[in-house]
């Protein structure tokens, strides 16, 4: 996995979420109110974020589950810094910023962040991405050859070339 790619996908996520926030403020907030619009936006924003993660998970090339979890946690930390920093720059009060994170008062942002943290792992499972998919070349071919070997009726014909002695022993044993 390449960390710059994970940061690049996070930047893409923030660009999409920023546009999403502008659309929410212009069209949804006047119709249902600011706080309700922010609640609804957590749901639609989570869906957008999950869709982008599903589209980019192969490009991220994660090689282990711990990397998928690390990507999600990194995205959450960067997003918290981005959201709080942007809110402070725009001039929102700390109460206004914190209201999105208070589950007891209807703030749903922690749920959106939980989805963000799990999105790389879930996306890799939905896309059926495994460690083998991320390794190019010989590792994938070797594993396919082993799978063919296990399911093939004539085991001797499927053995790799370097197994000359094993092939000869199996031929001798069969005769």
Question: What percent helix, strand, coil does the chain show, rounded to 5?
Answer: 85, 0, 15
Give mean pLDDT, residues 84-104: 92
Q: Which residue has the higher pLDDT, 156 or 110?
A: 110
Q: What is the pLDDT of residue 19?
A: 97
Give mean pLDDT, residues 2-16: 95
Give mean pLDDT, residues 116-143: 69
Three-state SS for 110-151 is HHHHHHHHHHHHHHHHHCCCCHHHHCCCHHHHHHHHHHHHHH
**Threshold 0.85, pTM exceeds:** no
Write down the domain spans for the chain.
Answer: 3-134, 138-174
Q: What is the pLDDT of residue 158?
A: 47
Residue 129 has pLDDT above 50, yes or no: yes
Q: What is the pLDDT of residue 128?
A: 79
Residue 149 has pLDDT above 90, yes or no: no
């Amino acid at each position: 996995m390449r960390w710059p790619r994970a940061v690049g996908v996070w930047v893409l996520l923030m660009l999409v979420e920023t546009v999403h926030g502008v659309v929410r403020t212009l069209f949804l907030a006047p119709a249902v109110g600011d706080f309700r619009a922010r609640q609804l936006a957590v749901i639609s924003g989570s869906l957008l974020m999950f869709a982008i993660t599903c589209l980019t998970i192969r490009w991220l090339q994660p090689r282990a589950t711990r990397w998928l979890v690390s990507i999600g946690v990194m995205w959450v930390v960067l997003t918290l810094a981005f959201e709080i920093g942007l809110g402070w720059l725009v001039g929102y009060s700390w109460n206004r910023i914190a209201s999105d994170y208070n589950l007891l008062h209807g703030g749903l942002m922690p749920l959106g962040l939980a989805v963000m943290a799990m999105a790389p792992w879930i996306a890799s499972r939905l896309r059926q991405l495994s460690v083998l998919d991320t390794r190019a070349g010989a590792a994938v071919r070797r594993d396919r050859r082993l799978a063919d070997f296990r399911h093939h009726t004539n085991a001797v014909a499927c053995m790799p070339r370097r197994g000359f002695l094993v092939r000869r022993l199996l031929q001798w044993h069969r005769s």
